Amino acid sequence: MGFLLGAYGKLAAGSRYRSLQARMMRIQSKIRRATRDVANMEKMLDRNMKRDLQSLTLNANATKGLYQQIMYGAMTPEVLAAQQALSQFQANPKDKDGNPTLSNEQIAAYSQQVSSWQSTMNQQLSTASTNLDQGVAYQKEQIENYYEQMRDQLLEPLKDEEDSLQLEKDTLESQIQVAKADYEACQKMEQADVKMLTPNYTGGQG
């Protein structure tokens, strides 16, 4: 009777063990796929956020350059004339007779005009740049918040699935250990009864 119990028990335990092993292989495959999906999603979100932040910075720098061009384009004729006069004086400080092309008073007046305009332009550019930087900082925060929300919406379900699969894998590992132990116990029972049922042909013969 023990022999039959051992044989049938070993058969059942072996079948359960192989079934659990097959499930384990499927679970491990799903875990690898889930882990890969999480990594790919994180890379995509990081790449897109970096792209959007870089685009924001490039646009801001282009806007600052445009501000400067507009300011120079708005230079008054008087300031433009003063700047040209100073430039010509630097290139040719004396005429063909050796006399200065500009008097000290003219140099001082032109320099004052250019300096005053430069100071006003710098102040306006500084104000515009500060306002732009504040706007960029706000937009940057909005971009980062958006991608944080995307991580919650897209990554959390994938991570939950990964955790669920890992929990299932841990449970299966315990079940596999139990099935293996049952198989080995039934195998020992079968082997022990086989020995008991085998006739001893050498014993008691004269």
SS3 per-residue string spanning 53-82: HHHHHHHHHHHHHHHHHHHHHCCCHHHHHH
Average pLDDT over the chain reads 83
Q: Which one is predicted more confidently, 188 or 5?
A: 188
- What average pLDDT does range 136-148 have in this prediction? 94
Paired tokens of 25: 């292989």
- Higher pLDDT: 9 or 48? It is 48
Across the strands, what pairs with 94? 100
Residue 94, pLDDT score: 82
Most confident of 63-77, 83-97, 155-169: 155-169
Task: Name the E strands within the chain.
Answer: none
State the pLDDT at residue 200.
Answer: 52
Residue 1 confidence (pLDDT): 45
Nearest residue to 193 via CA among 8, 9, 2, 12: 2
Question: Which amino acid appears at position 43 of this protein?
Answer: K
Amino acid in the structure at residue 65: G
Report the chain's terminal Cα–Cα distance, integer Å.
32
Mean pLDDT of 66-91: 82
- Judged by average pLDDT, the poorest of 19-23, 44-48, 71-75, 83-87 is 71-75
Q: What sign results for the dihedral spanned by CA atoms 22, 25, 30, 31?
A: positive
Residue 4 has pLDDT above 70, yes or no: no
- What integer pLDDT is reported at residue 9 of this predicted model? 65
Q: What percent of the chain has pLDDT over 70?
A: 87
Looking at the DSSP assignment, which residues form a beta bridge with residue 21? none
Residues 45 and 154: beta-carbon distance below 8 Å: yes
- 4 in the Ramachandran plot: left (φ > 0), alpha (ψ -120 to 50) or beta? alpha
Q: How confident is the model at residue 140 (pLDDT cuts 50, 70, 90)?
A: very high
Tokens in use for 171? 């449970």
Distance of CA 137 to the CA centre of its chain: 20
| CA 202 vs CA 68, 149, 197, 199: distances in Å | 112, 82, 15, 9
